[in-house]
Amino acid sequence: MRNANRVILPLQIDSGWKHGKDRWMIKTGTNHIAIVGCGIAGPMLALLLSRTGRSITLFEQAEALEPIGAGIMLQPLGQLVLRQVGLFEDVTAQAEPIHELHAVQRNGKTMIRMPFRAAGIQMHAFGVHRNDIFQTLSSKL
């Protein structure tokens, strides 16, 4: 549901902030969470936090929720987040695997060429359009 520059999501979140041994966790007593920004990170955070039971309000300054930007190189850590929210298969079905980094200068001369496996990375990245991630994410809100 949208109201002026505020997107209200019917999501619930479960505990509040408590200090754990090595990290901060959500603390008991917090009934509502506000997230500012409805790009990719805001809705992704809302989906992750929606599993915990509290209400979430997602704020956005733009009049319309439209994707901006171009391609994204989705690295293994980003892939992990997509797996956690259940979007990995939907997003990567629209993506191209990237097995190496290859940067060239304007004159065509190679600046760097590094296969992921040569760098000790066992997974590959994906090249995906920001709009594809945004649309997949938006469909889950």
Are residue 55 and residue 83 in the same domain, yes or no? no
Query: Angle formed by the axes of helices 41-49 and 130-139, to 10°?
Result: 30
Are residue 128 and residue 79 in the same domain, yes or no? yes
| 66 within a domain of the structure (yes/no) | no
Are residue 97 and residue 128 in the same domain, yes or no? yes
Q: What's the length of the chain? A: 141
> Taking all residues of the chain, what is their mean pLDDT, rounded to a whole number?
77
The pLDDT confidence band at residue 122, using thresholds 50, 70 and 90, is: low
Are residue 79 and residue 134 in the same domain, yes or no? yes
Are residue 91 and residue 34 in the same domain, yes or no? no
**Residue that terminates a domain, selected from 21, 39, 59:** 59
| 124 within a domain of the structure (yes/no) | yes
CA dihedral 141, 84, 44, 127 (to 10 degrees): -110
CB 27 within 8 A of CB 18: yes
What is the total count of domains within the chain? 2
Are residue 75 and residue 130 in the same domain, yes or no? yes
pLDDT in tens, 31-82: 788 888 888 888 888 888 888 877 888 888 877 777 677 899 998 889 998 9
| 65 within a domain of the structure (yes/no) | no
Are residue 80 and residue 53 in the same domain, yes or no? no
Predicted confidence at residue 94, as pLDDT, reads 94
CA distance 91 to 139: 12
| 103 within a domain of the structure (yes/no) | yes
pTM: predicted TM-score of the whole model, two decimal places:
0.65
Is pLDDT of 17 > 50? no
- Residue 92 lies in domain: 71-139
Is pLDDT of 89 > 90? yes
